[in-house]
Chains A and B, each alone.
Chain A
Amino acid sequence: MKVKKKIKTIKVVADKCNGCRACEMICSAFHASPKYSSNNPERSRIRVIRDPLSDIYLPVYAGEYTPAECMGRDKYVLDGKEYGECAFCRASCPSRSLFKEPDSGLPLKCDMCEDDPSQETPLCVQWCVNEALVYEEREEEIDDGSEALGDMETGVASLVDKYGLEKILDTVARMSASRKD
């Protein structure tokens, strides 16, 4: 069966990025709870890879969590500029600290600001006054598939990958016991 799906795209015009990191700041503020009660770019779901002396400005969005790193790494040279290993990859990956909550290490993933209340335009786009981030929407027909994992499930799955299911179950049991006391 075919269903209609809204495809949301953020066009990253890296040439226009001036490296201000407003996108990082506002993403983390929007996802704080309560909203805007704190900010911390390390919690952002967009990060700007920034190396001014090499003229590298690359906003990257947090994509899926991956339990294992790739078999090898890639490294791009574009217009004579050498980007770091895995620079273009969006994964929250064990090989690097990018796209992880600083305290818990839980993976971060861009949710297009569909969080409550859902925003018409993603926050990072609203705050990128230089129009390096441009929001676009279109509809596409796709095969009906299963729902993607929710935020919590992704988080738990990553913990399971890290510590094993048994340990997680133990911990949850212990925590719920101590809460009851």
Chain B
Amino acid sequence: MRYAETGYNLEVDLSRGSIERVETDPRETELHLGGLGANAKILWDRVPPETDPFAPENLLIFSAGILVGTPAPSANRTIVSTFSPQTKLMAYSMMGGFFAPELKYAGYDKIIIRGQSPKLVYLWVSNDKVEIRDASHLQGKGAGDAAELIKKELNEPKAQIASIGLAGENRVFYASIEQGRSSASRGGVGAVMGDKGLKAIAVRGTKDVNIARPAPFIGLCNDVLNYIKFRSTHPIPGVPAILSGLGSPQEMAIHDESWHTENFAWGNARHRRKGFWTKEVEEDWRDTQENARERLISCYNCPMKCGATIAVPDTPTYMMKCYSKLTYAMGAMSDLKFGFKIAQQATEYGVDAFSAPQTMAFAIELYEAGILTDADMPGFPTGNEDRFYWLLDKIVRREGIGDILADGTYWAAQRIGKGADAFAHNNIKKHEQLPLKLGMLNPLYFLMYSTGEKIGITQIEGQFPQAPFNTMEEREEFVKDWFQVPDEKFKKYFLDWEPRGENSNPYYPTVEMSCEIVDWMEKMHYIDDAAGICAGLSSFPLKPPYHMHNYPLLLSAATGFDIDEARLSQIARRNRTLIRAINVRRGLRRADEKPPEDHWKKRFPELEEKLLDAYYKFKGWNSEGIPTKESLHELAMDYVSEDLERRGILKNEG
């Protein structure tokens, strides 16, 4: 018997209309666990680097992490992997909600989609019964509407559905895959789904998920649950409210947005608005939120409530998760009422809530600068809010200027020319970033922004505080019960970190310390993504219930493998290195690894080079960021170095 995982993948070829249930090799599980790591192995093996993201040969994988469907709290992540039309690299998007556990209960670890259907279809998976069904009647329907219609026609209210909206159907480069209260938004995974002619996947499962060593496993799960309860009554003092608790940022619960609205940049990631959060604004936003929010809601088997059902006048009820609350409001220089209203449409169309508002704000800037004109945008309204609605509509339909903007700011700037690229200023590896513009370079964030392969900062940061604490007392208080550190030295790094003076940014944490801290933070994300645990209870917040000390025990008890800390670190490193190799094979090099030019006012080119050199070395990569033959050998991935040598990417020195 297989434990924690089901041991089966579903292989669907939409060109041929074939469906196969395929047993997987347990040795792969031992090497990569599941989720992201397993996806990476499949993409490495089966998608040659020349493959266009919109080619039938590209795969679209929906994968449940290895702990998904077990009693481990928040083990509910669906890891969607493919190649991104926007970055051309491996796309990397995850969603919470209820889809992945249902897939496990249906008896599958993954659904692997290849080919292209000649007409729009959806996939219906009900335990062993799997069908490709006509979806022509769902064409143009909103992602949520389509899901509701599918549930009705299948007469399966308990089915879990992942679907795309108009943006995905029209291959908007930042189209999302929506699933009730969650979505896989980054990297344009929805565009690939649309390109494959797949409107939705509906899943219903009624089988068991098995645990190898039940007694220790449930004990560990109870510990996790108890620690969550403890943390809910013990928020971390000395950090902004939004960083003090567990879960994704508690945007739906908390109405105090002073931190985001005053520290993050508005418009096209341009304007900091110090003093924005006045008493009147606070009252207005609080009332708006309280009136709109019907209920706080959670994902499968998780006690946190990071999402909410939102109902605003004249707008259908919808579900929202954390940050989309602010991105449209701030992109349009508007307010929360507008944010809630337009987010409903955007969710139905299915677009990423970072890239979409940023691209629209970018278009408004170009228009104001005279680079885009009335000839390009006939009928462009005057107010910002109307402009956002107008642009959103054009983009998801790829109509007129919308066809260009649908490719995101980087590609749109290339096509528009006339200096437009100066306005596409907030990208890393061609992908729009959080709108954040700061003063002094932070060495940890420099490394994370530069080298992160998930191309979103929230998918690599966590664990280590974002800024030093002012007084030694506060720091000592913080490290007292900081048992999550994998090594005591991290406490010392933090204690010695000062807001000013010698031990402050950018030269402290030192280059060596920065490498270690960033590696730790990143490692925890890679473990979560293989396990299918939500980052909100693990790699993202400070002092989480999942950490380097209980993870090996949980994974061992669930799977029956013997995984200690060293072996788990090795697996995380293997998965991380494999993704690097996949992207290197598609052309990623050191020159691509840089934060937006204007992310910090104060930059230190020499130090930055040093940081990158040291970090690459620490990771076992050469000065171009390519994994070395030796490090690949240590990770039992000689097949990767052989391939890279054959392609002349690694020099054969043997």
Q: Which residues of A contact B (CB under 8 A)?
A: 18-22, 25-26, 29, 32, 34-43, 51-55, 57, 84, 102, 127, 129-130
Contact = CB atoms under 8 A, between A and B. Distances in A.
26 contacts: A18-B295, A19-B297, A21-B98, A21-B300, A29-B218, A32-B208, A36-B214, A36-B218, A37-B210, A37-B211, A38-B208, A38-B210, A38-B211, A39-B208, A41-B105, A42-B206, A52-B180, A52-B319, A53-B144, A53-B316, A53-B318, A53-B319, A55-B294, A57-B295, A102-B207, A129-B303
Interface stretch (B68-76, B81-89, B267-275, B356-364): B68-76
B207 A22 contact: no
A134 to B, nearest CB: 15
Nearest to B211: A37
A84 B209 CA distance: 29
Contact of A22 (B69, B206, B297, B302): B302
B303 A22 contact: yes
- Lowest 3 A-B CB distances belong to which pairs? A129-B303, A36-B214, A42-B206
Interface string B295-336: 111111111010001000000111100000000000000000
A52 B307 CA distance: 11
Given A55-B309, A55-B317, 10 more contacts: A22-B301, A32-B214, A38-B209, A39-B70, A39-B208, A40-B105, A40-B206, A52-B181, A53-B317, A102-B207
A38 to B, nearest CB: 4
B148 A55 contact: no
B455 interface: no
B400 interface: no
A51 B180 CA distance: 10
B157 A36 contact: no
Contacts of B214: 32, 34-37
Contacts of A52: 180-181, 295, 297, 309, 319
Contacts of A41: 105
Given A36-B71, A40-B208, A127-B225, A55 B105 contact: no
Nearest to A36: B214
B211 A18 contact: no
A55 B301 contact: no
A83 B372 CA distance: 52
A95 to B, nearest CB: 14
Contact of B148 (A21, A39, A43, A53): A53
B116 to A, nearest CB: 32
A97 B389 CA distance: 45
B591 interface: no
A160 B255 CA distance: 58
Nearest to A37: B214
Contacts of A127: 225
Contacts of B294: 55
Contacts of B232: 129
A57 B296 CA distance: 12
Contacts of A40: 105, 206-209
Interface string B59-75: 00000000001110100
Contacts of A20: 298-303
Interface in B100-116: 105
Nearest to A23: B301
B319 A51 contact: no
Contact of B206 (A19, A29, A36, A102): A102
B217 interface: yes
B215 interface: yes
A20 B300 CA distance: 5
B228 interface: yes
Contacts of A25: 71, 301
B211 A36 contact: yes
Nearest to B215: A36
Contacts of A54: 317
Contact of A29 (B71, B299, B309): B71
A84 to B, nearest CB: 8
Contacts of B157: 51, 84
Contact of B298 (A18, A43, A51): A18
Interface in B136-189: 144, 148, 157, 180-181
Contacts of A35: 214-215, 218
A32 B209 CA distance: 11
Given A102-B206, A102-B207, A18 B218 contact: no
B549 interface: no
A26 B105 contact: no
B601 interface: no
B492 interface: no
A38 B4 CA distance: 9
B229 interface: yes
A26 B296 CA distance: 22
Contacts of A22: 73, 301-303
A53 B211 contact: no
Nearest to B75: A25
A84 B152 CA distance: 13
Contacts of A84: 157
A18 B306 CA distance: 10
A32 B232 CA distance: 30
Nearest to A17: B295
A42 B126 CA distance: 13
A37 B319 CA distance: 34
B142 to A, nearest CB: 12
Nearest to A43: B208
A52 B318 CA distance: 9
A55 B317 CA distance: 9
A41 B206 CA distance: 7
B346 to A, nearest CB: 17
Contacts of B217: 36
Given A34-B214, A37-B214, A52-B319, A21 B301 contact: yes
B181 to A, nearest CB: 7
B302 to A, nearest CB: 5
Given A19-B297, A102-B206, A129-B228, A39 B309 contact: no
Contacts of A55: 294-295, 309, 317
Which one of B157, B214, B228, B305 has the highest number of Cβ atoms from chain A below 10 Å of its Cβ?
B214
A167 to B, nearest CB: 26
Contacts of A57: 295
Nearest to B127: A102
Which one of B180, B217, B303 has the highest number of Cβ atoms from chain A below 10 Å of its Cβ?
B303
Contacts of B69: 39
Contacts of B181: 52
B160 to A, nearest CB: 11
B545 to A, nearest CB: 12
